[in-house]
């Protein structure tokens, strides 16, 4: 359960009043958890400037009231319909929802019933983590790092990617994590050249690359870390590529601090890789925010529309990579917490 969720709800209600929003529908499980401390699928939160009410299956009601006594709870077989009925009963005319968190069908349902799309209304409150949230992210990162260090001497040729994944998940669970924060990527040999490889039953082989991209959830908060190793004696080509990525990642981490533009961090990392002649082999953004979701604003990439200033309390990743199709790939990723003068690296 989160601390100070009632204060967060109050902050969001103040935002609503300031922007003339009479009611707001919160459907994202992460947004709901942030505002109430209750995380479960298939319920809907309706917030007004003075009240908040959860519409949910009857089996959730008691637990919800225990966790979020500052909110009302109402059993509803069809939460969306119950929310619309409540809005109409209160004669509310300025109600909104976050289209980015809805399916096409549910988004059409809200629009059909007079609600307008106001995306990111809760997300903007989640970008900067308070000390309590930062502590949970740090703990999640600590678990992931400890599990990796425990796993490392156990990795041997002949194991499958899935066996490595399963062992890593088990270790993180035994160390206090609830679950992986995303589908763990274990890529061996040429599979390491696929940035979002789907972990398979391919067997690890001696004298090849192994990429591990993993993280876990601790009290709802995510960690994200990537390490690339070589099983055996590293080739000269691997050493060369690894050194370039390592230099890029180190420069990116060093560049992170409050006031720096996200695009500038990406430019620094990408510039080092491009200058080395591998610019076309770095095929994704430099990083992303994380917290209750594994991917949150801000984005550290070269899209001008997403170029924003880093702020104290943001948790972001720095993860440049080089991928040589059919051969191998190298990615190095750390989760960092933005400070006024730099950043705290949480995954080392």
Q: What angle do CA 37, 42, 48 make, to 5 degrees?
A: 60
Percent of the chain having pLDDT more than 70? Answer: 99
Residue 121 has pLDDT above 90, yes or no: yes
Instruction: Please state, as a whole number, how many other Cβ atoms lie within 10 Å of the Cβ of residue 262.
Output: 27
User: What's the pLDDT tens digit per position in 272-311?
Assistant: 999 999 999 999 999 999 999 999 999 999 999 999 999 9
User: What's the pLDDT tens digit per position in 35-67?
Assistant: 999 999 999 999 999 999 999 999 999 999 999
Band the pLDDT of 5: cuts 50, 70, 90: confident
Long-range contacts of 246-252 (CB under 8 A, 24+ apart): 246/332, 247/272, 248/272, 248/273, 248/320, 249/318, 249/319, 249/320, 249/332, 249/333, 249/334, 252/286, 252/287, 252/300, 252/318, 252/320
265 close to 254: Cβ distance less than 8 angstroms: no
Topology of domain 5-126, per CATH?
Answer: Creatine Amidinohydrolase; Chain A, domain 1 (3.40.350)
Mean pLDDT confidence for 244-252: 98
Q: What is the spatial distance between Cα 137 and Cα 133, in angstroms, rounded to a whole number?
A: 6
Strands 179-180 and 216-218: antiparallel
Percent of the chain having pLDDT more than 90? Answer: 97
User: What's the pLDDT tens digit per position in 293-302?
Assistant: 999 999 999 9
Phi and psi angles of residue 183, each rounded to the nearest 5 degrees, phi first: -70, 110
Give CA separation, 318 vs 33, 148, 192, 216, in Å.
26, 18, 18, 17
Of the candidates 12, 11, 5, which has an alpha carbon nearest to the alpha carbon of residue 68?
Answer: 5
CA 44 to chain centre: 22
Half-sphere exposure of 138 (CA within 13 A, CB side): 14
CATH numeric code, 131-345: 3.90.230.10
User: What's the pLDDT tens digit per position in 70-93?
Assistant: 999 999 999 999 999 999 999 999
Residue 34 has pLDDT above 90, yes or no: yes
pLDDT of residue 1: 47
Phi and psi angles of residue 188, each rounded to the nearest 5 degrees, phi first: -110, 145
pLDDT of residue 4: 62
Q: What does pTM read for this prediction?
A: 0.92
Residue spans of the domains in the chain: they are: 5-126, 131-345
For residue 16, give both structure tokens. 């609503």
Band the pLDDT of 11: cuts 50, 70, 90: very high
Residue 2 has pLDDT above 90, yes or no: no
Phi and psi angles of residue 180, each rounded to the nearest 5 degrees, phi first: -65, 150
pLDDT of residue 6: 77
Average pLDDT of the chain, as a whole number:
96
């Amino acid at each position: 359960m989160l601390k100070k969720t009632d204060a967060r709800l109050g902050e969001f209600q103040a935002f609503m009043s300031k922007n003339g929003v009479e009611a707001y529908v919160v459907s994202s499980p992460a947004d709901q958890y942030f505002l109430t401390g209750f995380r479960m699928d298939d319920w809907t939160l309706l917030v007004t400037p003075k009240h908040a009410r959860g519409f949910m299956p009857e089996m959730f009601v008691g637990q919800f009231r225990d966790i979020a006594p500052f909110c009302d709870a109402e059993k509803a077989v069809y939460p969306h319909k119950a929310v619309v009925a409540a809005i109409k009963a209160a004669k509310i005319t300025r109600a909104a929802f976050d289209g980015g968190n809805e399916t096409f069908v549910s988004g059409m349902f809200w629009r059909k019933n007079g609600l307008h799309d106001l995306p990111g209304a809760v997300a903007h409150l989640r970008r900067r983590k308070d000390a309590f949230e930062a502590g949970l992210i740090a703990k999640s990162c600590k678990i992931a790092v400890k599990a990796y260090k425990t796993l490392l001497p156990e990795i041997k040729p002949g194991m499958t990617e899935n066996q490595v994944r399963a062992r890593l998940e088990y270790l993180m669970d035994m160390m206090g994590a609830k679950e992986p924060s995303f589908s763990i990527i274990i890529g061996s040999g040429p599979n390491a050249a696929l940035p979002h490889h789907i972990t398979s039953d391919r067997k690890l082989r001696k004298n090849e690359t192994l990429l591990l991209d993993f993280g876990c959830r601790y009290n709802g908060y995510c960690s994200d870390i990537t390490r690339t190793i070589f099983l055996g004696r590293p080739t000269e080509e691997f050493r060369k590529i690894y050194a370039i990525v390592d230099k890029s990642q180190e420069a990116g981490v060093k560049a992170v601090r409050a006031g720096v533009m996200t695009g500038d961090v990406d430019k620094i990392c990408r510039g080092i890789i491009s200058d080395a002649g591998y610019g076309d082999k770095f095929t994704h953004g430099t990083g992303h925010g994380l917290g209750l979701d594994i991917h949150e604003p801000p984005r550290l990439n070269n899209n001008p529309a997403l170029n924003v200033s880093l702020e104290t309390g943001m948790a972001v990743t720095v993860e440049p990579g080089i991928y040589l199709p059919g051969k191998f790939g190298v990615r190095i990723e750390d989760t960092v917490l933005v400070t006024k003068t730099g950043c705290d690296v949480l995954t080392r």
